[in-house]
Structure 1
Amino acid sequence: MTSRYRALLIAEAANPEWVSVPLVGWSLANAIRSVADAHIVTQVRNKAAFERAGLVEGRDFTAIDTEALMKPLWTIIGKLRGGAGKGWTTVTALQSLFYPLFESMVWRRFGKQIRAGEFDVVHRITPLSPTAPSLLAGRCARAGVPFVVGPLNGGIPWPRAFTRERHQEKEWLSYVRNAYKAMPGIKRTWRRSAAIIAGSRHTASELPEGARGKCIYIPENAIDPARFADYGQPDRYARLDLCFIGRLVPYKGPDVAIEAAQDLLRAGVARLTIIGDGPMMADLKALAARLGVADAVTFAGWVEHREVPEIARDKSVFLFPSVREFGGGAVIEAMALGLVPIIADYGGPAEIVTGETGFRLPIGSREIMRDRAAQVLAEMAAEQHDLAAMAARGRARIDALYSWERKAAQVVEVYDWVTGKRPDRPDFGF
């Protein structure tokens, strides 16, 4: 390459001050700005945060105002989802139905420039959900400008043994989620996109056969290494200082973590810090008291995302038996901090953690996962595993594959492919 790509980045959800999808949207778009002449298009609710991050509207980004529709839509979503933080399949479905309005306004603002060839590539980063069709894919194809979509992620089926948790999360619509594949707009999106970045192997497997030749696997999440440079004290692996990070809801398994560790907690061999808040908080505290381990369990409550490393970096083990994780961002961050992960062998975390860097619990009933986690913890207490060595291998894996800088470089290789600068489809060896 002799010049930087002129890229129009579509990131309806992108915000440096939020977490989950908006943080992914912001982090990837901002990283691409460092390796391409990129202009970000986002929704107006993110404008102030972009400006606080030092970006200038008109020069670095454009904010599209769809609030006239989105405000009443969020009122409707709030009534249909079944409670705060629940019914995410319902939320995604309703957002996908109304998302085309955003893209139509993007085309109204940038269509003339796209047709005039002022951009080498148009890349839709968010929505991450593969259920959101794109009208830009076809319009860019007709204009002769490659359209890249992704990373796409989501839709991991609920494990059969966790139907109760599925219902507690009000995930009724998840039973018919795959109906989106029959939507004409989705089929046209796959057909007219030049490349599809899959954020998980499951999402890649859901693509129709004709689209898989366009698919490149690049995991959804990554880290900013500057935030994870302090690995804590070397002697932390001489003790079992366990950590759970996440929303306190049944499918994340904070109760499984407490029960699995109870013998070691009661014996004073281990301690457990739970970072996060949610509807299970009172029940978890009662569980710890009932098991006689309350003095060994610290409930840190809700913590600002940027402050989590300060609490977690001196822990030795990340005990996270969540059964439905798409991207596994918390696992990546924990490994970057030098924690050895114990995770469910399912979804995004299972694609991140190897046998050399952590432990994967067989996906089964709650009791099977609890007992296997207890066995792993007992082995750790008996010093049957070299935690320091596993942590070092985990950090090396994250440093090599899961930084936003590395991910931006991978995206540029995708741009090379769709613009004809390289003949072969990229494969990054995850």
Structure 2
Amino acid sequence: MSEDKTKAVKALQGVKGMNDMLPTDAPLWDMFESAARSMLRAYGYQQIRTPIVEHTQLFVRGIGEVTDIVEKEMYSFTDSLNGENLTLRPEGTAAAVRSTIEHNLLYDGPKRLWYIGPMFRHERPQRGRYRQFHQLGAEALGFAGPDVDAEIILMCQRLWDDLGLTNVRLELNSLGQAHERAAHREQLIKYLEGFQDILDEDSKRRLYTNPLRVLDTKNPALQEMAANAPKLIDFLGEESLAHFEGVQRILLANNIPFKINPRLVRGLDYYNLTVFEWITDKLGAQGTIAGGGRYDPLIQQMGGKPAPACGWAMGIERIIELIREENLVPDTQGCDVYMVHQGELANQQAMIAAERLRDAGLDVVLHATPDGKSGSFKSQMKRADASGASFAVIIGDDEIAAGTVQVKQLRGGNVAEGGQQTTVPAEQVVEFIIDAMVDEIEGDDEQ
């Protein structure tokens, strides 16, 4: 009789460039999301959620057919059930605008909207750039003035301040209006045609389709050529210049430093007038952590009634990398109470006490082990201390018989004196721990 052999099963791994968020990373994400939600609430923005999958045509029309995103980076597929061409969203603005048009959100006036979630682009994974990445975005729809352009920039500055980020700088430019870009485009193409012998393949491909993007080249051999190219700002008319100057005046009045970068463009076709980027030198080549600007043509371009719009998006992974670089990682806060117990009746009482503590708003961890056995009090107390809990509630046979619990302070003022352990009637444990926490906070305030 042949012996059965168990075949080793190879463990599956995640898709390259699509990363897990592990429990050790959660405090950073919580810190960012909490600061972002607070900031957006302060400016009157309302959340919108759109599907991860949209019709491919939405991004072809909204982003532009001759862009890197549409040409090379989108995850697109044909639905096998109905033949629809679908795409995992590569950015959030087009979907937010589609939803605004579809649900007629601008019927009763302008809207300030925000979104957060995963986006997908088939890029070469590197630090701060992934195939599934997460964006926070804000869209101000129906506002035409430079005041709202300035406001969305001020929002970013407030978020950096709230997070404690200091190594971030602002660059500004204006793309003017379509007819101004057309005049500049004509002169720019003529200029670039004189450098065909040194243009790289990307630049040659963009020369006649999106020549502005040639100026955004990262190729060191093309920097001097790009620096001397005709500047779009020299082609702007009075209205575009007045709008740009209005943005600058508000930023200066609010003590927001910035640099005008005439080579700054956006990778998407729908932008006009103000464009901006927030940049850091702490993340190497992936220095842009947020970018945006005005995109007045997009709503009409996507089938809605003409309406002005502006907004921004920021890559959350890059900002979290920057938080790490600047050593702003928050202390991991443990639970409030760790329940230590031994014996069947003690386990039941511990669960009852834990639920009462949670009803009072406290975070409670109940001791448990892989084998279902409670283990010694000594081993449990080690777990309690490692959990970061402020208090341990201890229940054993003696406590069950007496109708009491032991409460031991694990952190705070009394710990320096070897900790404080108190016998407390079981029905009073909630009040006792809350009073002890209040006393500790008040003692800290007095210091």
TM-score normalised over the length of structure 1:
0.20
**Higher strand proportion:** 2
Task: Please identify the structure whose Cα radius of gyration is greater.
Answer: 2
